Structure 1
């Protein structure tokens, strides 16, 4: 998501950029461990969690919206960082995300609510003793996902600099050619970037995500200058800030740690990005490079899923097989629009093909949404 984030403080039993509960491999739950369920009903009034207190361990957040147009998202935050979220829960829809939580005080945040921040408490004295041997598959998955994120940011930084150097030089043709390739590496790991407070809005906000156009920065601000304004005048400072924000992202991901459920939640979030802003053409509305982003979102989601495959197969082989088959289908659908090293201009993709893409993504989203609950 690209809406500016509210930094909300929290007191936790341990610290870490994305370590919700800072679980080590030896603290993974046995398959039979029962998750607590917290209901988060979105309304114009806000998003009061029920219950507001649960014991430490696996927790599933069930988010529903029975009638609010203003409030369509719920996040769990700690120390100003987003640990889990469900977006685009419009009227009549629902969704879930799962996490393993250690004792501490957290915040449930729902932008747009009359009261947008609610206290959520996890009780206990520390991590529960494992009731079964640790699952080495999930430990391996989280380690490899960290390495994947770091490698993508290592590719993102020089690709972005190629783009920003062209912007600073006033070379519109070179900047336009570099735009899609730079964003590819960002879109593959966007849920991670979103967890760092205002960093994602600074890098990737769209025009309608900012209240003050004068403060709009990032890829899409320069995209508008290139394809709509047809001028790079005044864009050098925006390019400089984009480079600085990518450097901050690189520093943050170097020390980040992850839970298995975060990999699954992040994969689902990437599909939401596809269905809400890529398929519609909203994301890259000036350049029409949406299919670059679409492909990167799918690739990032598939990487996270495949790292979890060994653990998931041991718990639900049918779900693992079904989800993998639907990833194959989405990838094949997308391949129809390849052009050289990239993709066709999305404005040339007709409504029927867009519906086919959307249907394929939606078919994948349903089984993928179940994965976090299996590996938490």
Structure 2
């Protein structure tokens, strides 16, 4: 999870995601190339305007530790991004953009946003397997909607326990409620203004009086061991999730968003959650792992019929590696645990590295799916 705030409105005709990955097939020669160099000062795209069509953004970090993320937003929703671009690294994402004005954003920079303009008109494209891909995006929207409904209902169980002062019941409901957020985290976090209110960690919010959401409640329940004074925060979380449900209902997904989202879920596990920093008070990280894997596999399963016709070897490789990571997680299940998993503080460093390696082995071929399908 990353926190994103932007202060510039965006006007957009429409944007179709083509691909978003750090590796995989090379960009078509007709793809416009944009460089976003991260610095303490900002990350203004160069050039700042391109014709409509496919555009590859290369996010480069030549030495700043303060700014490690570059993203593109449309109408306050993140449509492409690269996180954890630390000094000396670079990474890419590719989008098919229609005419309009977009926002390039790099949190932490002195000037953290810049306009990016797309002109002209994009040529229509009908990729092979379009019917299967259309079915995949429709069914994924149904999956996301169902997960948000379960999230709202499960969180109500959690917040009701908080409001009545039942510490034991609130702790028991915490991870099961968050599970549904984690299955669709790339979608939820694409709403740049809402995600920080729901899922920010202590170090994401410099002003502790503004810190809200799951992890603020987690800290009180597991570190301070109290529910005292938490009712307003519980009310706020319910309201923010109601807003999320409204926003999700109006989202139209593109095929590559499913593949990109699946990859981002795996990145969350291997670069952030594996450290134990996400659920640092409750140690319910394994529940998050399982949810991220479920969400990634759901997206892949929906894309698989189209992928199997284009690259059957890649499809089979991914199926085997999803099976592998599910098998690797199985020893950590604990029916006696409140969330069905062992607490993460019981997992030693070597076991954490093994889990991260299995996730990375899945993420690498998954990064090829967008370019293969579109």
Residue in 1 aligned with 2:22? none
Measured in 2, the distance between the counterparts of 1:264 and 1:22 equals 10
| In 1: Cα distance, 2:84 partner to 2:161 partner | 35
Gaps of 5+ in 2: 19-26
**1:313-328 → structure 2 map (5 Å cutoff):** 313-328=308-323
Structure 2 partner of 1:44: 40
- Structure-2 residue corresponding to 1:26: none
1:88 equivalent to 2:117? Answer: no
Which of these residues, 350, 354, 358, is aligned with residue 356 of structure 2?
Answer: 358
Shift in alpha-carbon separation, 1:35–1:314, aligned structure 2, 3 A: farther
- Distance, in Å, in 1 between the alignment partners of 2:88 and 2:325 is 26
1:5 aligns with: 5
Matches within 5 A, 1:1-376: 1-14=1-14, 20-21=15-16, 34-125=30-121, 127-130=122-125, 135-340=130-335, 342-376=340-374
Count matched residues. 363
User: 1:60–1:336: structure 2 CA closer, same or farther, 3 Å change rule?
Assistant: farther
Question: When the two structures are superposed, what TM-score results if normalisation uses the length of structure 2?
Answer: 0.91
2-structure distance, mates of 1:221, 1:55 = 44
> Matches of 1:60 and 1:194 in 2, distance apart?
22
Q: Relative to 1, partners in 2 of residues 1:368 and 1:39: Cα closer, same or farther, differing over 3 Å?
A: farther
Structure 1 residue 33, shift from structure 2 partner: 9.3
- Structure 1 residues 123 and 314: alpha-carbon distance in aligned structure 2, compared to 1, 3 A threshold: farther
Whole-angstrom distance in 1 between the partners of 2:175 and 2:257 = 27
Per-residue CA deviation, residues 7-39 of structure 1 (Å, 9 max, x unaligned), is: 43222224xxxxx2499xxxxxxx989543323
Q: Is the 8 A contact 1:60 1:373 kept in 2?
A: no
Q: Which has the larger displacement, 96-105 or 221-230?
A: 96-105
CA contact (8 A) 1:110 1:117 kept: yes
CA drift at 1:93: 2.4
Kept in 2, the 8 Å contact 1:98–1:265? The answer is no
Partner SS for 1:120? strand
2:6–2:113 CA contact under 8 A, matched in 1: no
For residue 17 of structure 1, what is the aligned residue in structure 2?
none
Which whole-Å CA distance do the structure 1 matches of 2:127 and 2:373 have between them?
A: 14
Q: TM-score, normalised by structure 1?
A: 0.91
Q: Deviations over 1:97-127 (max 9, x none)?
A: 23221111111111122332122221213x4
| CA distance in 1: counterparts of 2:277 and 2:181, whole angstroms | 17
What do residues 314-336 of structure 1 show as CA deviations (whole Å, max 9, x unaligned)?
33333222222222211111111
Deviation at residue 60 of structure 1 after TM alignment: 2.7
Tell me how large the CA RMSD over aligned residues is. Answer: 2.1
Change (3 A) 1:246 1:84: same
Q: Is the 1:7–1:80 Cα contact (8 Å) retained in structure 2?
A: no
Task: Provide closer, same or farther for how the CA distance between residues 179 and 320 of structure 1 changes in structure 2, counting only shifts above 3 A.
Answer: same
Q: Equivalents in 1 of 2:7, 2:324: separation in Å? A: 39
Structure 1 residue 132, shift from structure 2 partner: 6.4
CA contact (8 A) 1:8 1:79 kept: no
Q: 1:221 to 1:56 in 2, by over 3 A?
A: same
Change in 2 beyond 3 A, CA 1:277/1:242: same
Query: Does the C-alpha gap of structure 1 residues 300 and 55 become closer, same or farther in structure 2, counting only changes over 3 Å?
Result: same
